[in-house]
Structure 1
Amino acid sequence: MRTLRNRDFRRLWISGGVSGIGSWLLVVAIPFYVFDLTGSTVATGLALALEALPALLLGPWAGVLLDRWDLTRAMWIADLVSAAAVALILFADTDRIWPIYLAILVENVATMVFRPAARALLPAVVGTGNELAAANALNAFSSSAIRLAAPPLGALLLAGPGITFVLAVDIASYLLSAAIISTVRSPTLRAGRERRSGDAARRGGAEERLAGFRFVARHRALRGILIGQTIFLTANAGLTALLVPFTVGRLHAPGYVLGYLISGLGAGYLIGAALSTKAASWLGVRELLAVTQFATAAAFFTLFNAPNVPVAIVAAALIGLPGSILLITAETAIQRTAPAAMLARIGALFFAADSLALLIGALAAPAVTLALDLPLTLNLLAAFAVLAAPLTLFAVPAHPANFTRIRS
C-alpha cells in the first residue's frame, strides 16, 4: 500500500498497533477486575465515567497548547505518562480500589494529549487528499484486528497469569510505542509548528481557547457532526457501562465471555474498515454518517435482546461493521475540514464532547437500572441511539464543498 511507504506514517502506524495491543488487553481486564473486587455495577460505571473527566475539563486547554508544541514530542511523553499510570493499578486490592480510579484519571490525562495530537499529526504527515482517507482506514483496520484478537487473549491471561501480567504487558507496550514515536520526524510538521507558534504569540490565551469553539459553532458541517455524534456516543457509553452486567446477568455467562463479545465487535470493525473507502464513494458524508448511525443502533437492539452468547457475538459484529465506517467517516471529515492551525484545538473540542457523552452515559445508565430493570434500560438506550440518524440528516449539510479545509 502506498500509504505505508511514507516513513513517518509507517512508524506512527506501528506504534499505534503496539500500544493498542496492550490497551485492548485491559478492555476486559479492568471492568471485570473492578466488578470482581466490588460486585457493583455503579463502581464499574464509575471507572468508565472517570475516563471522560480529563478530556472534558482540560481538553480545550490541551488543544491550545498542542497547536504550539511539537506533536511527536507530546505523543511520546503522553505514552510514558500512560505507562506510569497503568503501574498504579498494581497497588489496588479489595480494600483499596482508589489506585484503579487514580490510574484511570492519569492515563486519560495522557490520552487527552495523545489523541488530538495524533489527529492533528496525521494530515501533516500524509496530506488531506486520498491518502488521508486511506491512512484512517488502515489505522482502523489494524485497530480492529487488535480488537478482534486482544480481548479474548486478555481474558485468557486474566484467568491464567493474572492481572499483574496483563498490566506488565500494557506498560511495556506504552514504553515501546513512545520509543517508536520519538523517531518520527516530519519537515512539513515542523514548519507547521513554527507557523502556529508565531500565530499563538500574536493572540491571547482566552481568545485561542475560544477560537476552536467559535469556528465549530459557525461551521455547519462540523457543528452538525458534533451534535449527531454526541447523541450517538452518549447512548453508546451507557450501553458500554452495562455490558458486564448484561453478560453476567442476562446471558448468564462468566465474565470472560465479554472478551468474545468485544472480539465479535472487532471482527465487524475489521470488515467495516476494509469497506470504508468504498462506502465513501457510494454516499455523501451526511448520508453515510446517518446510515451507519441507524444501522449501528439497530444492531444494539439485536445484541441486548440476544437469547444466548453465539447470537450476541454475531450481533456485536453487526455493531462493529457500520460503527467502524461511522468513526472513519467522521474522523476524515473533521481532518479535512478544520484549518491546519486549529486542528488540535478542534480535535480536542470533539474529544471533550466525546468525553461528555461518555460521562453522561456511564453515570446515567447504571443509575437508571436502579429504577428500571436492566433489559428495559438497554432497549431505551438503543432507542436513544436511533435518534442520532435523523438529527444528523437535519444538522449536517449535504454539499461536498462543506467538507473542504478552509485555509488559515
Structure 2
Amino acid sequence: MAYRSGGAAAVGLVGLLRMVPSAVLAPLLSPLADRGRRERVLVVVSTVRGLATAAAAALVAVDGPVAVVYALAVVSTIAATLFRPAHSALLPSLCHTGHELASANVVRGLLDSAATLIGPRLAAVLLGLSGVEMVFAVSAAASLWSAALVVGLRYDAPPRPDAGRASRLLPEAAEGLRAVASNGGLLLVFGLGAAQALTRGALTVLSVVAAIELLGTGESGVGALMTSVGVGAVLGSLAASLLVSTTHLGRWFALGIGLWGLPLAIVGSVPVEPVALGVLALIGVGNALVDVAGFTLMARMARDEVLARVFGVFESVVALSVGLGSLVASLLVERFDTSTALIVVGLVCPVLATLALSRLGRLDLAVGALDEDVTLLRGVSMLAPLPLPAVEGLARGLRPFEVAAGETVFRQGDTGDEWFVIESGTVDVLGDGQVVTTLGPGEGFGEIALLRDTPRTATVVAREDLHLRALCADHFVPVVLGHPHSTRRAGADVDELLDRFHPHEEE
C-alpha cells in the first residue's frame, strides 16, 4: 500500500516510523527486568498483551470504537518491547554451561523462525474463515498461554533489587548504556548487529521494489521472496544445532553477518527470480547464525545484574538500524536504481564481517578461556548447583596464585580473606599439625573461614609447585550464599569438613 501511494520513499519512511517506539522504549523499560525475578516480567508482559488483544477482539466483534482498538494495540506493543530483553536475560540463568546456552538459543531461533513463517499464513487463514476478531482472539490466547507456561518455571534465581523503584528507571537505563560502552567485545557485536539490522530494514524496501520493478513478479512476488527468507531461517536454525560450538561463536557470527548481505548483492547482479529465491534463503540461514552466536556472545560478555539492560540497548540499536536501513534503501533506489541499491546495501555486511574477523577470533579465545575457568569451578561441589551467570561472575574474579613446593598457603588461626581452587599440584591440609587430607587439581579450600566468619581452621602446605586460582571473600561469599541450592550444598560440605577435623574446627 505504501509503495503504491508513494513509491520506495514512502515504504522507507513507514519502516522508520514503525521502529521509533521500540527504539525509545526498549532501553527505558528494560531495567524492570533486572529487578526481581525475570520470569515474572515475562508473565506480566504476556498477560497484558493477552488481555489487551482479547479486549480488542471483543470490540471488533461488536463494532466498538476504532480509536480504542488502536489504543489497545499500542498497549500491547509497549508491553512487547520488554519481552525480548527479559527473555534473553533469563535464558542464561536456566543454563549451567555455555554449550547449554548456545543450544537454548538455537531452539529459540528455530521457534522464532517457525513462528515468523507460520504466523502470517495462519492469520490469513483465520481472516478467510472468520474475520479480524478471530485473529485477535487467537493471538490473545497464545499470549495468555505463554504467561501460563512461564508461571510454572522453577529455577535458582539470584537476589535482585526491589522492583518498585520506578523513579530510578532513567539512571538504571544509563547504567546499561555504560555497561555496553565500557566493553569492547559488546561494542563489536553491537556494531555488526546494527549492520545486519540496517540490511534487514533495507530488505523490507528492496524486496518490494525488486519484485515489482526488477524481477517483474508483481506484489505477489514480494511474499515469495520473504517466504524464501523464512524457509532459510528455519533450515538454518536446524543446521545451527549441528554447527555452533561455544569455541567458535565469533566466527559463526561473522559468517551469519556476511550471509545477510551477500545474497542481496547477487540479486542485484543477477536479477532472475529462481536465483533470487535461492540466494535469499541464505539470508535466513545467516539470520539463524546471527541469533544463536550473537545472543550467546552478549550473554557471556555482560554482567548478569545488567543483562536485561544490555539487551534492551541492543533492541534499541536494532530498531533504529532497521528503520534507518529502510530509509537508506529507499533513497538509494530513488537516487540510482534498484540493482545498484541491492549491490551497495548487500556489500555492507560482508565487508564489515571480514574486517572484524580477527577481533572476533580474539573474542572466541576469551570465551574459551572463560569456559575453562567455568569448568574448573564446576568441579567444586558447592559451586556445581549455581546457574551459568553466577559461575561466570566468579570466574571473572579469579586471579592466578602460585606457591612453591613446601611453602604455606595460609596457617591455622590466620584471618581468612580468600578462597582457593587448585589448577595444578597438590596440598596437605593440617589440623593441629597433623595431616587431615590431601587435595589435588579441581578441589577448593579456604571456604570455612569465609562462610562461618571464623579464623582459618587449618594450615595448608604445598606438597609440590602449586598453580592456584584465588577469589576474594567479597566476591565469593555473596554468590555462594545468594543461591539456595549452593547455600545448602556449602553448609553440608563445611559440616562434613569440620566433623573430619574434630575436636577443633579445622579445615
TM-score higher than 0.5? yes
Taking the TM superposition and a 5 Å limit, the aligned residue runs for 1:172-187 are: 172-181=141-150, 183-187=151-155
Name the TM-score, length of structure 2 as normaliser.
Answer: 0.62
What residue ranges of structure 1 are gaps of 5+ in the alignment? 1-33, 92-96
Does residue 113 (structure 1) correspond to residue 82 (structure 2)? The answer is yes
Q: 1:227 to 1:371 in 2, by over 3 A?
A: same
The correspondence for 2:31, drawn from 50, 64, 81, is: 64
Task: Tell me if structure 1 keeps the 8 A contact 2:199–2:346.
Answer: yes
CA distance in 1, matches of 2:356, 2:146: 36
Could you give the per-residue CA deviations for residues 64-115 of structure 1, whole angstroms, max 9, x where no partner exists?
2221143233223323444536976998xxxxx9999877755442222000
The correspondence for 1:322, drawn from 286, 295, 305, is: 286
CA distance in 1, matches of 2:131, 2:334: 32
CA distance in 1, matches of 2:15, 2:96: 34
The correspondence for 2:16, drawn from 49, 64, 71, is: 49
Q: Which structure features the higher share of strand residues? A: 2
The correspondence for 1:215, drawn from 151, 160, 179, is: 179
Q: Which residue identity does 2:107 align to in structure 1?
A: L
**Which residue in the other structure is 1:79 paired with?**
46
Q: 1:37 to 1:378 in 2, by over 3 A?
A: closer
CA distance in 2, matches of 1:54, 1:395: 33
CA distance in 1, matches of 2:277, 2:364: 37
Look up the SS of the partner of 1:242 in the other structure: helix
Query: Larger Rg: 1 or 2?
Result: 2
CA distance in 1, matches of 2:273, 2:48: 37
Q: Structure with the greater relative contact order (CA < 8 A, sep ≥ 6): 1 or 2?
A: 1
What residue ranges of structure 2 are gaps of 5+ in the alignment? 61-65, 371-391, 395-474, 476-507
Task: Tell me if structure 1 keeps the 8 A contact 2:179–2:306.
Answer: no
Task: Tell me if structure 1 keeps the 8 A contact 2:98–2:246.
Answer: no
Could you give the per-residue CA deviations for residues 219-257 of structure 1, whole angstroms, max 9, x where no partner exists?
221121111211222122112233233323333334344
**Which residue in the other structure is 2:409 paired with?**
none
Same amino acid, percent of matched pairs = 26
Q: Which moved more, 1:345-354 or 1:262-271?
A: 262-271
- Across the aligned residues of Structure 1 and Structure 2, the Cα RMSD in angstroms comes to 3.6
Q: 1:37 to 1:373 in 2, by over 3 A?
A: closer
The correspondence for 1:336, drawn from 280, 300, 304, is: 300
Q: Which residue identity does 2:237 align to in structure 1?
A: A
CA distance in 2, matches of 1:321, 1:348: 25
Q: 1:308, CA displacement in angstroms? A: 4.4
**Which residue in the other structure is 1:231 paired with?**
195
Q: Which residue identity does 1:45 align to in structure 2?
A: G
Q: 1:123 to 1:62 in 2, by over 3 A?
A: same
The correspondence for 2:322, drawn from 354, 358, 366, is: 358
Could you give the per-residue CA deviations for residues 130-172 of structure 1, whole angstroms, max 9, x where no partner exists?
2211111112223333344444555566677666654554344
Q: Which residue identity does 2:25 align to in structure 1?
A: L
Does residue 124 (structure 1) correspond to residue 93 (structure 2)? The answer is yes
Name the TM-score, length of structure 1 as normaliser.
Answer: 0.75
CA distance in 2, matches of 1:250, 1:162: 35
Q: 1:88 to 1:247 in 2, by over 3 A?
A: farther
Q: 1:81 to 1:42 in 2, by over 3 A?
A: farther
Q: Which moved more, 1:70-79 or 1:330-339?
A: 70-79
Does residue 298 (structure 1) correspond to residue 267 (structure 2)? The answer is no
CA distance in 2, matches of 1:100, 1:406: 46
Task: Tell me if structure 1 keeps the 8 A contact 2:228–2:278.
Answer: yes
Look up the SS of the partner of 2:160 in the other structure: helix
Q: 1:199 to 1:76 in 2, by over 3 A?
A: closer
**Which residue in the other structure is 2:427 paired with?**
none
Q: 1:321 to 1:347 in 2, by over 3 A?
A: same
CA distance in 2, matches of 1:223, 1:362: 23
Task: Tell me if structure 2 keeps the 8 A contact 1:247–1:257.
Answer: yes
